[in-house]
Amino acid sequence: MWLNPKMYRTRLFLDVLRIFVFPVVTLYETQTYAGISLGFLAPPAYLGSIILWGFIRNLFYDYQQHRNCSRLGAKPIPRIKGKLPGNIDILLRMMKAFKTAYLMDVYLELFQEYQCTTLNTRILWVDQIITMEEEHMKFVSSTGFNHFWRGRRQKERMEEFLGNGIFNRDDEVWKMHRANARPFFARERISDFQTFEKHSAKTLSVLSQITAFNLPCDAQDLYARFTLDSASEFLFGNNLDTLSGTLPQPGLAQMGYKGSATNDAFGSFTQAFELAQCIITQRARLGYFWPLAEVRKNKMKEAALITKTWLDPIVERALEEKAKARRAGVEAPLADKTFLEHLTHSTEDVSLIRDELLSILLASRDTTACLLTFVTYFMAVYPEVTKRLREEVLATHGTHNVPTYESLRGLKYMRAVLNETLRLFPPVPLNVRESRPEPVSLPPAQQASFPGAKSIPTPKEHLYMPGSTPIMFMPLLMQRNPDLWGPDADVFDPDRWLDPKRISIVTANPMMYTPFSAGPRICVGQNFAYNEASFFLVKLLQQFDSFTLAPEFQPEGSLPPVTWKQKQGRQAIEKIWPSAALTLYVKGGLWVRFGKADHGDS
């Protein structure tokens, strides 16, 4: 029997009983039964009983694992062996790294130290698998899909915020969500660019007002507004109109949870949205015992309440509309319905509809905004890329033409730039699944055993994946792995995607590039996202021709530490501080000066 995933305190309580109370009570009972008094030896004896009991449980678990391993004919996944009991030093090292180190470097270091691409961190004696191995990601997301699910641990972290939504459900409920969403991403639907046109125009007009004063703008914030307004209109036909709110002020902006903070009404919604993502990430980082940090206060409560307060009235209004239409005896055909209208026809459950909406808003806003943010970053760092991109845009669309589904297909270089940005900065850099209760064996690793070690022969044995255990997989590390991408894996080079020889490597091995994931849970919005980003970039480049980073406007504490310069790989060259909270973002926002092209009259 499983607890409601919201009841994390009860789960913690049961763990305390299992780990501490059981041995203590047993010792007490035994001693009373035997009529012995422990006297001054009592405290060490009780402590000893807890340790001994832990030791026995561990031995028993290892024995079980060992048996299961041989039964499945697989080898155990290498365990990290820290210096302190329970790998506490590893936990501390990770917590420190999340504050100061480069994106996911702490994991990369561990893979290199142990010379393998899949590891068991086993912090506080709880198994937790991490992997950057392509074969294992393929197994978890596609070929071995049925052996995994989102799982209980993940639901426990996200339930309060995402509830019944698509990201937080498995099996039948997930299938229902997927079936509900699919028709809305069919080609006819996503080739209607009216919403993109409207919101791109608005975004560029906001931008032109800022550049008229020769001020920089937090591109990350602006893009989040653009993608949220577009998504809300596409999904519920009702624009949240966040582009009309107050933007963060250059030079005055303070750090929000992710980018720069905003204080308008929209600010409360996005702050809650971002806070929730940060809490989920924090919980994941703390691992199995995260409830210890939230015994007194459920940090998610407030954020969840704010998003509900925003979305519930929208859902209620849609339900009223439906009732009205029904009374009048009219019903629009599916092709004319918004996603929200479609949902109100399948259920009357306000919370279910809200959860579905929230999940898709989350899926579409931050990811696409992240893609645009990092494209802008690269355009600022590589003016020659900007020039080529702009030439392609002007040659195909002139300075004013509105892109269509077909005209975007012709933008080869644009697509290469988007692909290359998604390779180095996949908006979802890390993902988690849990094995179902049955243990399973993972296929042998394909790539060399650790990054940069082609010479070491790849082990050919299967690995043993224990039951009910989380596995964290990291497309970001895989997509930067030199063993897959060559020695220049860390270099931004869109031409990679135009060179038949290099493309053929990816075509032969599509799993090495999975910014949209793979298998049955692959992103449903992939084409929507490519279209939205390309559409916006065409309109942007028709009017603007230069992008310059404005580090002097980054909020305090958001520039990369100087110590990074001595490190290797992208860390040494990064001009911004990329961070992750479910999705990637630039710490403090991306402050950029947008330079208007001469002919750009709007």
Residue 368 contacts which entry, ligand HEM, ligand NAG, none (Cβ below 5-8 A, type-dependent): ligand HEM
Element (H, E) at 321: helix 300-328
For the segment 412-451, give every residue that binds ligand HEM (CB under 6 A): 427-428, 431
- Closest separation between CB of residue 284 and ligand HEM, Å? 12
The amino acid that residue 154 corresponds to is Q
Query: Which residue among 216, 250, 515, 588 contacts ligand HEM (CB under 6 A)?
Result: 515
Strands 578-581 and 75-76: unpaired
Closest C-alpha among 163, 115, 134, 168 to residue 434:
168
Task: State phi, psi for 276 to the nearest 5 degrees.
Answer: -60, -40
Contact flag: residue 427 with ligand NAG (CB under 6 A)? no
> Between 339-346 and 350-381, two packed helices, what is the crossing angle to 10 degrees?
160
| Residue 556 burial class via C-beta count within 10 angstroms: exposed 0-12, middle 13-18, buried 19 and up | exposed
The tokens of 216 are what?
A: 């920089």
Stretch that binds ligand NAG, among 118-126, 256-264, 408-416, 453-461 (CB under 6 A): 408-416
Terminus-to-terminus CA distance in the chain, angstroms? 62
> Between 339-346 and 219-236, two packed helices, what is the crossing angle to 10 degrees?
50
Size of the site for ligand NAG (CB under 6 A): 14
Whole-angstrom Cα distance, residue 52 to residue 58? 10
Contact flag: residue 139 with ligand HEM (CB under 6 A)? no
Contact flag: residue 360 with ligand HEM (CB under 6 A)? yes
Whole-angstrom Cα distance, residue 359 to residue 314? 15
Residue whose CB is less far from ligand HEM, 431 or 534: 431
Query: Which residue among 416, 430, 463, 518 contacts ligand NAG (CB under 6 A)?
Result: 416
Contact flag: residue 534 with ligand NAG (CB under 6 A)? no
The amino acid that residue 253 corresponds to is A
Size of the site for ligand HEM (CB under 6 A): 23
Contact flag: residue 546 with ligand NAG (CB under 6 A)? no
Whole-angstrom Cα distance, residue 364 to residue 442? 32
Label residues 246-255 b or e (16+ Cβ within 10 Å = b). Answer: ebbebeebeb
Task: State phi, psi for 591 to the nearest 5 degrees.
Answer: -85, 120
The amino acid that residue 490 corresponds to is D
Contact flag: residue 65 with ligand NAG (CB under 6 A)? yes
Stretch that binds ligand NAG, among 58-66, 73-81, 199-207, 554-562 (CB under 6 A): 58-66
Q: Are 543 and 241 in contact (CB under 8 A)?
A: no
Residue 412 contacts which entry, ligand NAG, ligand HEM, none (Cβ below 5-8 A, type-dependent): ligand NAG
What residue is closest to ligand HEM based on CB? 525
Half-sphere exposure of 337 (CA within 13 A, CB side): 21
Residue whose CB is less far from ligand NAG, 480 or 593: 480
Query: Which residue among 141, 419, 554, 579 contacts ligand NAG (CB under 6 A)?
Result: 419
Whole-angstrom Cα distance, residue 227 to residue 215? 22
Strands 583-586 and 470-473: unpaired
Residue whose CB is less far from ligand NAG, 61 or 289: 61
What residue is closest to ligand NAG based on CB? 497
Site string for ligand NAG, 500-519 (x = CB under 6 A): -------------x------
Query: Which residue among 151, 250, 426, 466 contacts ligand NAG (CB under 6 A)?
Result: 466
Contact flag: residue 528 with ligand HEM (CB under 6 A)? yes
Contact flag: residue 438 with ligand NAG (CB under 6 A)? yes
Determine if residue 217 is labeled as part of a ligand binding site.
Answer: no
Strands 75-76 and 463-465: parallel
- Closest separation between CB of residue 194 and ligand HEM, Å? 16
- Closest separation between CB of residue 371 and ligand HEM, Å? 4
Task: State phi, psi for 196 to the nearest 5 degrees.
Answer: -60, -40
Element (H, E) at 379: helix 350-381
- Classify 164 as helix, strand or coil: coil
Task: State phi, psi for 168 to the nearest 5 degrees.
Answer: -115, 15
Residue 524 contacts which entry, ligand HEM, ligand NAG, none (Cβ below 5-8 A, type-dependent): ligand HEM
Site string for ligand HEM, 176-195 (x = CB under 6 A): --x--x--------------
Site string for ligand HEM, 143-172 (x = CB under 6 A): -----------------------xx-----
Contact flag: residue 529 with ligand HEM (CB under 6 A)? yes
Residue 529 contacts which entry, ligand NAG, ligand HEM, none (Cβ below 5-8 A, type-dependent): ligand HEM
Residues that bind ligand NAG (CB under 6 A): 61, 64-65, 68, 412, 415-416, 419, 438-439, 466-467, 497, 513
Residues making up the binding site = 523
Residues that bind ligand HEM (CB under 6 A): 166-167, 178, 181, 231, 360, 363-364, 367-368, 371, 427-428, 431, 515-517, 521, 523-525, 528-529
